[in-house]
């Protein structure tokens, strides 16, 4: 599987925010990306979040430049070395049908003016790359309480198709069974 073409270039200015550049993530972006991944974990898992930035950094480093992975950052056009947003989509193949699809893994934007617009720019760039890479279906998980990401998914035509149900055993801490 070859990597889809990477969208790169300026994004249009939006109301109240500087212009942005959406570009492929690079090794020098890993510290900022790890910070976004820690924040995603906190939003998704609360007290049970894995907040070890080094672990997230290593996980993401394996995806950068790898065929089938779409790893993009948004940077202000005035500071192209400092990511203000991050998105990650992994290309997959359905083991039963052989169809190619994309597994949306991450999208995060720094808490700043224009945050929603930057998220939209990142998601639009990911969708273009997925289309160019032959991915005709995209899937993504989002925590039920993450209303902003759920709204962003809906805005771009995603629909809820599955619900994950959880039950914790009484007395289980951190989701691990008691000894």
**Residue 165, domain member (yes or no):** no
Q: How far apart are CA 67 and CA 129, in angstroms?
A: 12
The tally of domains found in the chain comes to 1
Which tokens hold the place of 15? 């109301």
**What's the domain range around 139?**
9-155
**Residue 111, domain member (yes or no):** yes
**Residue 120, domain member (yes or no):** yes
DSSP β-ladder status, 83-93 and 69-76:
antiparallel
Of 18 and 140, more confident:
140
**Residue 105, domain member (yes or no):** yes
**Residue 166, domain member (yes or no):** no
Q: Identify the CATH number of the domain in which residue 81 sits.
A: 3.40.630.30
**Residue 167, domain member (yes or no):** no
**Residue 16, domain member (yes or no):** yes
What are 83-119's pLDDT values in tens digits?
A: 999 999 999 998 999 888 999 999 999 999 989 999 9
Which tokens hold the place of 157? 């035509």
**Residue 35, domain member (yes or no):** yes
What are 27-39's pLDDT values in tens digits?
A: 999 999 999 999 9
Q: How far apart are CA 9 and CA 124, in angstroms?
A: 13
């Amino acid at each position: 599987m070859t990597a889809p073409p990477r969208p790169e270039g300026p994004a249009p200015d939006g109301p109240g925010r500087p212009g942005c550049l959406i570009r492929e993530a690079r090794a020098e972006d890993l510290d900022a990306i790890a910070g976004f991944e820690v924040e995603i974990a906190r939003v998704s898992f609360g007290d049970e979040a894995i907040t070890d930035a080094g672990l997230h950094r290593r996980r993401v480093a394996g995806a950068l430049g790898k065929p089938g992975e779409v790893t993009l950052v948004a940077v202000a056009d005035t500071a192209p070395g400092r990511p203000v947003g991050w998105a990650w989509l992994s290309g997959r193949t359905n083991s039963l049908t052989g169809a190619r699809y994309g597994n949306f893994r991450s999208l995060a934007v720094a808490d700043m003016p224009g945050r929603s617009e930057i998220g939209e720019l990142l998601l639009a760039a990911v969708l273009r790359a997925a289309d160019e890479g032959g991915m005709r279906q995209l899937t993504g998980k989002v925590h039920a309480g993450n209303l902003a990401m759920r709204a962003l998914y809906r805005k771009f035509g995603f629909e809820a198709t599955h619900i994950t149900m959880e039950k914790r055993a009484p007395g289980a801490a951190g989701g691990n069974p008691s000894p």
